[in-house]
Amino acid sequence: QVQVVESGGGLVQAGGSLRLSCAASGGTFRMYTMAWFRQTPGKDREFVAVSGRNGGNADYADSVKGRFTVSRDSAKSTMYLQMNNLKPEDTGAYYCAIDPSLIWGLRSIPRHYDYWGQGTQVTVSS
């Protein structure tokens, strides 16, 4: 059974940094696509960043380019999101999503991912 667990969220002032982790188990994840999404209550879930198969093909939402970096530890089935220069607009619940055979052009659409974690909260104060 596939299990996905996020960690690393917390409260930080604007301009600060956080590092999120997504640990997956129960499958062969080296060739799986892994992505980060975030959501604020009352709003749709939005794409943040993605790490393609074997840790390649990284992509980011325009709002986080230059500030966030996604990386992948394939041996440990773990994905990281280094978040620097955080802004209040980055506040939300961050979710890890996984898909075994994602079509790359659909990478930013939540409904195409098969597995999800429970989320970790990130709150950025002004």
**Residue 76: which pLDDT band, with cuts at 50, 70 and 90?**
low
Stretch 60-67: mean pLDDT, rounded?
A: 98
Separation of alpha carbons 111 and 34, rounded Å? 14
The pLDDT mean for the chain works out to 93
Count how many residues are written for the chain: 126
Stretch 92-118: mean pLDDT, rounded?
A: 94
Stretch 75-98: mean pLDDT, rounded?
A: 94
CB 116 within 8 A of CB 66: no
